[in-house]
Amino acid sequence: MSASLYDAGAADLAAEHEALIQFLYLAPVGLVQTRADGEILMINPISAQLLMPLQPDGNLLNLFDALENVAPELRHLCAMFTRPAGMVCDGLHIHLNGGTLRARRAPQVLSLSLLKLDEARFMAVLSDVSEQVRRERQLRQNDAWLNALLTSITDYALVSLDSEGRVCEWNETIGRVTGHSEAVVGTPYSVFYPRDAITHEQVRDRLHEADQNGWILDEGARQRADGSQFWASSMISPLPDHDSTFDDPDGPAYCLVLRDISDKREAIETRRKNMFCDHLTGVANRRAFFEAAELELQRNRRAPRPTALVLLDADHFKRINDRHGHPGGDAVLRQLGLMLVATFRQVDVVARVGGEEFAVLLPSSTGDGALAVAERLRQLVAQQAILFEGGRIELTISAGVAASDGVNLDLDTLMKRADQALYAAKANGRNRIECWTPALAAPVETPPKNPTPATP
């Protein structure tokens, strides 16, 4: 090849490379190219803008590290992706915060798609989808409403409720779907829910939201008179022209349509897990936690009631990973998730919100009540070693508890208080639970998460 042709080819390659770089920097979405371990090779300004709030020290060097506290499953998903190339995740929603004033200046929800280019490189695409998520939430409600109208109605129960949500009268559809007799008349509609699946306050909340929106629909486990459970879609709507001032206060004010959709449960559960579950532990993910927490605190502002939050960490988790590898750490987190679900109520929202950090929202629970349950969990964890590869991994947890106790608190304040109590538990020796007090609001020196043991 002549020198002139070589120079021309080199110039063409340089021009293509420059065009690629310009595309990377001017693309309307965030683009990040990384090594297999997450080390960032190239990043455009939009990605830097979206990710920098997660790295207060400005040390934005590794994508997995930057997202560890908000998308802890990402590193695990990449490690489990064994194909030489392909899509690791497409449109994974990452919730950054709980929707506070800060969130109005920065995105609440990021969408992440991650493509494995080859054995050595990944390409990430990031975008702010906060508004889209809010719209999708409303569309899901509309879709569920249409599904309830258009599918078979041979498996429904039609229940009339009074203004307090009590069953007004019995009919054959109630008996057919739930097995309840006429004795159900006069009891709250929570009789159709499993134990600990709904609080007294939430019974009233759903009636209020039906009044505001014209209807309210939710899906989940329901309970028959014999104690057996089934999967159901339930919709409550106010009866037209009902006025409790003039009408019989014990007469029908709402209509509850309860449909047995057990045959669709597997598909519904699969969709729910894909959207709202942490892939490693099976508990709720950050997205589900923040949506549930915001809704509960909105209800709290309308009708004050106690609400508690528990934040907890696995103690010395880095030591576990260093000694047993990430598979050992994953086994610990999975077992901790199982113990959390077994300890807290069905109505409580148990979520993994960081690498080894979990959060539990307890509706209608005081700080003392949350403390008692958290202490029960602490004892359970300390007493049950995790079996891994023929050995035993000892584990303890530290937790912080904060509660609104009827006071109007936003989610950021409640989480900040629980976090201060969690750090107090660590500072006081770990393997303990601390409740927030005003004294903890003063700045304290945070102990290192995994201090290096002194050399003898």
Q: 112 pairs with which residues across the strands? A: 92, 126
In whole angstroms, give the CA distance from residue 178 to residue 260: 9
Backbone angles phi, psi at 178, to 5 degrees: -110, -15
In whole angstroms, give the CA distance from residue 158 to residue 175: 10
Residues marked active site are found at 356
Nearest of 318, 321, 311 to residue 353 by alpha carbon? 311
β-sheet with 216-223: strand ranges across: 156-161, 254-260, 229-238, 216-223
Are residues 389 and 330 in contact, defined by beta-carbon separation less than 8 angstroms?
no
Are residues 160 and 255 in contact, defined by beta-carbon separation less than 8 angstroms?
yes
In whole angstroms, give the CA distance from residue 384 to residue 439: 34
Are residues 391 and 329 in contact, defined by beta-carbon separation less than 8 angstroms?
no
Taking CB atoms within 8 Å and a gap of at least 24, the contacts of 54-61 are 54/96
CA terminus-to-terminus distance, the chain: 68
